[in-house]
Structure 1
């Protein structure tokens, strides 16, 4: 019998979760003390989210992957209803000009986080059912694109441009991995890039972010303030950092230090070495998810394969974008760092994604065991 769990995936996810709690605590103490009179306000809430995420992950790991397949359309419909609900007055909660949350008391549910998961599940089921049509005909290729386009429209209306990019990018990756023809894929890629550019030009604040991206220091105290302060944090960190808790930029210089820019505070306090170790662990986590997907595909578990690939792409895309924004590689965009940034919905869904991959790994190993047992029985009969 083989072991029942991917230890490296479990280790890397737990490492990032607890490192994230540590960094959120460090990055938020000053602002929490000033705003709420309790320096551990955000730390305590994040700890509660972490415990909830671990508990939810344990429950999800018990759910057979077949359940996700059978309910893929219902989950997609739920995602659309939530994305519509956040746009309705009295239901959606507006923060910093964006209506992305539904208040559930202890946690604000961010609809786009659920949409990422449910879209992966839906598209995986669609690819299993219509794989030949997707590979050979434009009709099979365009149907999921219409679904993604409608979801993207709802996200832009919130607005949540970052989630739109993550979902569309991850879904395009899934279509590419399914073996779609290069002609159709390249046409789709060019169309998506053109549409993204057009959307960026529609709103003046998005265009301002793009121009600031090329020279943030020219608008150091205006639209480039957040990025320049993040870059200063990286510069202060040097090779080995200022030491845990000794960040200067978190002292009201860098906005959203415990959410979107927690990686900049990590680099300032733990230095280049700490940042590289963190990147290595993210790479390990994503790599193990791809390995699980590949093994599932090798054993003809196509839905398992596509789900694991899709979840890996979502985490990889969101991690790349967040760290790219922190380092100035990409234009500034509000997007959490999976497993680490403060935020209940992001943390819970990250835990669920890992739990699903662990379940996929378990079911794949179980199928391998059954195959090995049957082969051993046939070998015994043949030897007799």
Structure 2
């Protein structure tokens, strides 16, 4: 076998040597997400039935552009930028809170208007956090594994970011950031008692935020018994559970769901999984969970291969992405089926939301880049795609 570089006008005899399990699973989730967003939103604006579908398609298109861009940047460059990107993320979080600059919706200020597009800085902070923690673990490996201070330093910066996000407020994103960072530090070899102390502190802080916030406490009590106040605090969860109940084994059929039309709020965003459950039943729900499981598995598999190849930064980044996608999907699905308190958090690669879709696509592109570099080795990695010829 010989490897040659593809040139313009030359048709390669084989596709690039990439992780097809990862790419096919991500594409399947994107495609199904588009179909379900269409199913859940066509009735929402009578004079513009395709409003949400068109915007979702634009987000996917921008996500594909993001994939092409990030997959052409060597991971070595991301490592050099990792710390700077984290502080850029903190600046973006601060800009959201500037009066007159941040855009408010549903009582939360999370977006920066840029023409027709609303930039959600907390979504980009997830990406920058993974890069920063991965870079820190590479630079300070001995400190992290042997010193309490080496473990505490990145957490101090994480507390700053989480505090800024909580001011917006965005409890769900804060939980995902904390879980991703703690998981990466655990995989990086932090001392077990220090890790357990951190987990305990984080859990105590989250419980405190719930106890001293009436609306969060209301959500927790509604989660425990949504039928106690089904017309008010338990309404969303109760309607989601009804949707899953109507779906039974195989669902009522695509487009035939009733909950999305008259009862279930935010059906195309936070509760898209309930629409899937109603229209495709338990089988469709399990299929989506399986696809997310494949994405997370391949992310960790790429991380393992990178570690074996001596690429520690790439390994931590891949594992961080796996933790991020897996944790966010778990929380969203858990909320939909009543395992977790109601919280606004999108389903990665599927739910309506431009920033979420774009960032999820970029994550897949970065995983493909890591896999490509690990497979090819330093001597053959360049900005252009290498094609394999028989």
Query: For 1:128 and 1:314, how far apart are their aligned partners in 2?
Result: 19
Query: For 1:214 and 1:202, how far apart are their aligned partners in 2?
Result: 18
Which consecutive unaligned segments of at least 5 residues does structure 2 have?
4-15, 381-390
Query: For 1:304 and 1:265, how far apart are their aligned partners in 2?
Result: 36
Superposed counterparts of 1:300-339, under 5 Å: 300-339=310-349
Tell me the CA shift for residue 369 of structure 1.
8.3
Q: Does 1:80 align with 2:90?
A: yes
CA spacing shift, 1:55–1:315, aligned 2, 3 Å: same
Alignment correspondent of 2:24 = 11
Query: For 1:100 and 1:203, how far apart are their aligned partners in 2?
Result: 19
Alignment correspondent of 2:139 = 129
Superposed counterparts of 1:141-156, under 5 Å: 141-156=151-166
SS at 1:31 equivalent: coil
Query: For 2:61 and 2:28, how far apart are their aligned partners in 1?
Result: 14
Q: Does 1:223 align with 2:233?
A: yes
Query: For 2:106 and 2:157, how far apart are their aligned partners in 1?
Result: 28
Query: For 1:339 and 1:32, how far apart are their aligned partners in 2?
Result: 23
Q: What is the number of residues matched between the two proteins? A: 367
Alignment correspondent of 1:381 = none
1:40 to 45, 50, 65: 50
Alignment correspondent of 2:219 = 209
Q: Does 1:55 align with 2:55?
A: no
Superposed counterparts of 1:229-308, under 5 Å: 229-308=239-318
With structure 1 as the length reference, what TM-score do the two structures score?
A: 0.94
Superposed counterparts of 1:304-383, under 5 Å: 304-367=314-377
| Aligned partners of 1:107 and 1:345 also within 8 Å | no
Alignment correspondent of 1:104 = 114
1:139 to 143, 149, 152: 149
| Aligned partners of 1:24 and 1:42 also within 8 Å | yes
SS at 2:112 equivalent: strand
Query: For 2:164 and 2:115, how far apart are their aligned partners in 1?
Result: 24
Tell me the CA shift for residue 204 of structure 1.
0.6
| Aligned partners of 1:31 and 1:252 also within 8 Å | no
Alignment correspondent of 2:13 = none
Tell me the CA shift for residue 271 of structure 1.
1.0
Tell me the CA shift for residue 38 of structure 1.
1.2
Q: Does 1:177 align with 2:190?
A: no
1:119 to 126, 129, 149: 129
Query: For 2:114 and 2:256, how far apart are their aligned partners in 1?
Result: 35
Query: For 2:290 and 2:39, how far apart are their aligned partners in 1?
Result: 22
SS at 2:109 equivalent: strand
Alignment correspondent of 1:378 = none
Tell me the CA shift for residue 200 of structure 1.
1.3
Query: For 1:230 and 1:135, how far apart are their aligned partners in 2?
Result: 44
2:40 to 27, 39, 57: 27
Structure that is richer in helix per residue: 1
- Superposed CA RMSD: 1.2
SS at 2:116 equivalent: coil
Alignment correspondent of 1:376 = none
Query: For 1:202 and 1:307, how far apart are their aligned partners in 2?
Result: 35
Structure 1's consecutive aligned runs of 4 or more residues displaced over 3 angstroms after TM superposition are none
Query: For 1:135 and 1:184, how far apart are their aligned partners in 2?
Result: 10
Structure 1, residues 228-275: CA drift from partner, whole Å, max 9, x if none? Answer: 000000001111111100110011310000000001001101111111
SS at 1:71 equivalent: helix
1:68 to 78, 85, 88: 78
Q: Which has the higher contact order (CA 8 A, sep 6+)?
A: 2
Structure 1, residues 75-114: CA drift from partner, whole Å, max 9, x if none? Answer: 1011001111111111111010000111122321111100
| Aligned partners of 1:229 and 1:249 also within 8 Å | yes
Query: For 1:170 and 1:162, how far apart are their aligned partners in 2?
Result: 12
